[in-house]
Structure 1
Amino acid sequence: MPTFAAPAAQTSLRHAVLALSLAVSLPAVAQTTTAAPRVLSELKSIRVKATATLPKAGGSASDREDCPQRVIQPKSAGAKLVAAQGWAVMADVPLGPYRAVSFAGQMQAGTSGTCAATQGNIAVFSNDKLIALAYGKSADDTAIGNLVPLEGGTVRLWDGDIVPAPAGDLHVDADGTVRLTKMADEDTVCQGRAKLPNVYGMPIDKARKALAAKGWNPVRAKASGDPRQAMLFKHGIIETDDCSGTGMAYCSYSYAGPAGKLSLETAGEDDLPSVSGYSVKCR
């Protein structure tokens, strides 16, 4: 009997070692699996879902060859995957621990270098793994365009219209939820040293009052002889720097604030045109 005890013990030992090695290897396998986050859209025009599958491109390169200003070269692994599917990548930005990539299938050129984008989507990647997708109600709408990172980790979504407008804000909540919300009432700029109110779409006379309430004061511009500038001067908009006489009739304005300089832009031929964009240069 003793002569058979050693082989049996050796067999049991081999089984134990095999079981232990399997148990040790299981956590490593689990770590390679990216869990789908909770996703939520508070915007009626845009839906969002957790998914690991990219949609098929709805257009071709010829559909956007007249809009090179809207298309960027993909840099992240996720953006390269999107481009490989035949989509035009419009933005590739950080979103908390993730990467947000906006892309479109079709684009149509307009006047003054403008361009409308349709069949827009936002892909959220964890490294090179797709975890969520945001998309419009139909392939023909312009709900999704560019993405711009803001201070604090938020990403601002702009629509794909001829004159782009902010459509909402993309966040990653503390619990990991990927959430799309309406645009914030104000943004922090210059590393939190100043606040900028949401003046998009406001007529310039109302926008300048909202800006003044946050410490952004108009900087008087020099008269250039431009008739639109002269008209805006008559309305008391003394900070009007320059206006375009063609295309979308853009005008620019300058303000000085608590942490730097603000350049504002309006579009349209109204006597008091509405704000279409801004940029801040921090001190």
Structure 2
Amino acid sequence: MRKNPLPHLGPTRLVAVLAALGGAAAAAEPPVSGITVVPGTALPEASGRIDRGFCGHHEVAPQTSAGRMVAAAGWPVISEEPLGPLVAISFVAGFRSVTSGACVLTGGRIGVFDGVELLALVEATQPDSSGIGQLRRVGLGRLRLWNGEMLPQPVADITLDDGIPVIVAPARTDAFCDGTVTMPLIHGLNLSDARALLAAHGWEPDSRAQPSDPLAARLAARGFSGAEHCSGTGFGFCSLSFVQDKAVASVLTFGDVWRPAGPEVAGYDVTCANPFSQPR
């Protein structure tokens, strides 16, 4: 496939990346199934006009030179985040609208850049799959990679090892509120197991939370305290609140509230007493 050449900036960090990723370590079994990182000196060529359909809200306006270059090459940019002194740009080949207004992102890749010099590409082993979607910052020099499914789940973290981008399994916990609280990785767990993990990390159901609808009341009556609201349509989302000190964790679940172990966790948000606190 023809590539889009990138500006040559001379023997910079790219030399070290090519040596590290092109060596014996690159032939080893990847630490995260289905995701690989390879040296990159040129962007893949976009397949042409991409129909955003009802999924255009997933695309962002690039704010970095690297992001603008990716967009100019015909790729929809989904996220751009700093990675130490570098920048990581996630971009996709296509969108697919599905039920309840959700979208599936396909053919995703991540370019790791030093300025506008492409150092590495993070790719799915099945190129047209939904294995790569959005990036989110979860700590200093660490990014969380989410898949492109209609209910995205975390699949890997990207970090730097001696300046080289590497893929590792998602951290089991993330720190919030200037490091005063930690959240365990609960995505995809049933609510019973997630609640036990939250308790082990100091979180308690918010005693002030009151169910606002019959489904949330059923969930609370089954012993899932903190239930506030449930949707009776679509994915059947429910929201529950947990507290620790002055921090509040809003946990979002999906699925049948009558499942023996409760619905499954789709995600969470943490609100700190200091609104400017960021994950560490």
TM-score between both structures, scaled by the size of structure 2: 0.85
1:48 aligns with 2:28: no
RMSD of aligned residue pairs (Cα, Å)? 1.8
Mind listing any 5+ residue stretches in structure 1 that lack a counterpart? 1-28
Bigger Rg, which one: 1
Name the aligned partner's letter for residue 40 of structure 2: T
Answer whether contact 2:191 2:264 (CA < 8 A) is retained: yes
Answer whether contact 1:219 1:256 (CA < 8 A) is retained: yes
Answer whether contact 1:53 1:130 (CA < 8 A) is retained: yes
Counterpart pick for 1:257 among 244, 252, 263? 244
CA 31–51 in structure 1, closer or farther in 2 if over 3 Å, else same: closer
Q: How far off its partner does 1:270 sit?
A: 5.0
In the alignment, what sits opposite 1:21? none
Answer whether contact 1:36 1:132 (CA < 8 A) is retained: no
In the alignment, what sits opposite 1:195? 182
Counterpart pick for 1:231 among 218, 224, 248? 218
Describe the SS at the equivalent of 1:150: strand
In 2, the alpha carbon distance for the partners of 1:57 and 1:125 equals: 18
Percent identity reads: 35
Deviates more, 1:142-151 or 1:214-223: 214-223
Describe the SS at the equivalent of 1:61: coil
Answer whether contact 1:58 1:106 (CA < 8 A) is retained: no
1:108 aligns with 2:96: yes
In the alignment, what sits opposite 1:26? none
Q: How far off its partner does 1:266 sit?
A: 0.9
In the alignment, what sits opposite 2:172? 185
Give CA-to-partner distance per residue, 1:222-262, whole Å, 9 cap, x none. 132x2321221122112111111111111111111145111
Correspondence list, 1:98-247, <5 A? 98-173=86-161, 175-220=162-207, 221-224=209-212, 226-247=213-234
Mind listing any 5+ residue stretches in structure 2 that lack a counterpart? 1-8, 274-280
In 2, the alpha carbon distance for the partners of 1:152 and 1:30 equals: 28
TM-score between both structures, scaled by the size of structure 1: 0.84
Answer whether contact 1:149 1:155 (CA < 8 A) is retained: yes
Name the aligned partner's letter for residue 45 of structure 2: K
Name the aligned partner's letter for residue 88 of structure 2: A
